[in-house]
Amino acid sequence: MRLWSIHPKYLDSKGLVALWREALLAQKVLAGQTRGYTRHPQLIRFRAARHPEKAIALYLHAICDEADRREYRFDRTKINSRPRTRLELTVTRGQIQFETNHLLHKLKIRNPELHGKFLQVKRIQAHPLFRIIPGDPEPWER
């Protein structure tokens, strides 16, 4: 499971679809609707949120927004809620850099054209749910 902290706009089509599926699985885990993946480290930051299910719903809506922009058809009705409250999680600059390097490695192999474009981005944006703070990669990152 990879729940990217970087903005979904940087992902290629395979990455965006995989993120959608994995975030839907995370939603089920956080709602107690599955027995698998309950201890997955990617879920630590969502569980630490005041409202974990709202946090993952906001995360999913931002993925859908990117899919809509690309004219993909992700089924927004699969998201458990549309939170009306503003919620923000933090992510470290080191985590953003770690994920940027990880994505660059993936894109170099499966989408060299997008890899080249991604290399030109000066400042990587976080997923809309996250605010970037100083720090190293998250301790749960492998």
| pLDDT, tens only, 63-114 | 999 999 999 999 999 999 876 777 899 999 999 999 999 999 999 999 999 9
Closest C-alpha among 88, 7, 120, 117 to residue 15: 7
Q: What is the pLDDT of residue 86?
A: 79
Question: What pLDDT is attached to residue 37?
Answer: 87
Quick check: 80 and 27 in contact, CB under 8 A? yes
Whether residue 3 lies inside any domain: the answer is: no
As a whole number, mean pLDDT of residues 49-72 equals 95
Whether the per-residue pLDDT at 6 is higher than 90: the answer is: yes
Q: Is 21 part of a structural domain of the chain?
A: yes
- Domain assignment present for residue 142? The answer is no
In whole angstroms, what is the distance from residue 98 CA to residue 140 CA? Answer: 12
CA-CA distances (angstroms) from residue 122 to 13, 88, 97, 119, 134?
A: 22, 24, 12, 8, 17
Would you say residue 17 lies in a domain?
Answer: yes
pTM over 0.75: yes
pLDDT at 82: 77
- Encode 12-34: b = buried (16+ Cβ within 10 Å), e = exposed: beebbeebbebbbbbbebbeeee
CA distances from 141 to 44, 69, 118 (A): 11, 30, 22
Determine, yes or no, domain membership for 1. no
* Count: domains in the chain: 1
| For the chain, percent of residues with pLDDT exceeding 90 | 85
Q: Is the pLDDT of residue 142 over 80?
A: no
Angle in degrees, CA 95, 102, 65, rounded to 5:
75
25 versus 81: the higher-pLDDT residue is 25
In a domain, 107, yes or no: yes
pLDDT number for residue 56 = 96
Residue 20 clears pLDDT 80, i.e. is over it: yes
139 in a domain, yes or no? no
- Tell me the residue range of the domain where 39 lies: 8-133
What is the average pLDDT score of the chain?
A: 93
